[in-house]
A and B are shown apart, each in its own frame.
Chain A
Amino acid sequence: MSEVIVFIVAAAMILVGAVGVVASRNPVHSALFLVETLFGVAVIFLIQNANFLAAVQIIVYAGAIVILFLFVIMLLGVDKAEELDVEPIAGQRPLAAVLGAALLGIGLTVVLVASNGVTGAIAATGSEHALDNGFSDVERIGRVLFTEYAFAFQATAALLTIAVIGAVVLTRRVPSTEMLPDREPASFELPPLAPAIDEEEH
């Protein structure tokens, strides 16, 4: 019973946070609502005894990803309220609501109509994969990660390296003397936007 109460509280946190992310006018508020959702997800992990993932969820998501979001929001200075009342594309919101409701309906149908939504082989008690094999959470994940998932683990290392290099390349400022002449054609015009700030700074 206590599990159910914890689940309901965590689910309420998650849903309030999720709606807040989507409905906030200010991106900073969205980021803070996202933190609330992520903490709720960590609690959901804890209920299911995924202790390692709960810790990683808070460290990586709340500690790194949301901080990165907030950092970029502050860096770009877009932390002002956005006008949500105007609808830039006619019919965008009704269409989005219909598609979202359809997605929800399909998902709920699949889960609730199927008597037991989970199919597949249940891991044998005591096997390397089983959650009841007596190892601690971290040890169980480590044993599987560095044997069966070793290749995927190394692939993620390459992925992270590529991401870091990509971020550096994307945000690198090209010195004005080396700036390519065709970097932005003279005819390129975006009437509603302010002119690029690069030139003033160099």
Chain B
Amino acid sequence: MELTTNWYLVLSILVFSIGAVGLMVRRNPLVMFMSVELMLNSVNIAFVSFGTSLNDVGGQMAVFFVLVVAAVEVVVGLALIVAINRRHPDATADDLSALRG
């Protein structure tokens, strides 16, 4: 048996789907963020395997920038969660309905 690019891509799709379902099902904003991290990581797997199969470092560069964006997203997202929780402890994503006019 030989490890081909398709193995990595199938793994990537599985992780992406799990993350997407988690994002849709969970209500705790922190867990929703973790699901987004799962999706970003699955894309990183795909990027690196594409880069490897094309003998190109571009895939790894994409992962590098995805890492930076993931870090930034977490910083701003967690700051928002902290700010929201300070006013409304135990707020969940469903409480967005409070924004209804």
Q: Is the interface of A mostly helix, strand, loop or mixed?
A: helix
Q: Is the interface of B mostly helix, strand, loop or mixed?
A: helix
| CB contact list, A1-37 vs B, under 8 A | 1, 3-4, 7, 11, 14-15, 18-19, 21-22, 24, 27, 30-31, 34, 37
Enumerate the 5 nearest inter-chain pairs by beta-carbon distance, A residue then B residue, closest first. A22-B22, A107-B13, A96-B24, A100-B21, A167-B79
Instruction: Report B's interface with A, CB cutoff 8 A.
Output: 1-3, 5-11, 13-22, 24-28, 30-31, 33-35, 37-38, 41, 44-45, 48-58, 60-61, 63-65, 67-72, 74-76, 78-83, 85-91, 94-95, 98
Given contacts A4-B3, A69-B30, contact A21 B13 (CB under 8 A): no
Instruction: Report A's interface with B, CB cutoff 8 A.
Output: 1, 3-4, 7, 11, 14-15, 18-19, 21-22, 24, 27, 30-31, 34, 37-38, 41, 44-45, 47-50, 52-53, 56-57, 60-61, 64-65, 68-69, 72-73, 75-78, 82, 88-89, 92-93, 95-97, 99-101, 103-104, 107-108, 111-112, 117-118, 120-123, 125, 129-132, 140-141, 144-145, 149, 152, 156, 159-160, 162-164, 166-167, 170-171, 184, 188, 190, 192-194, 196-198
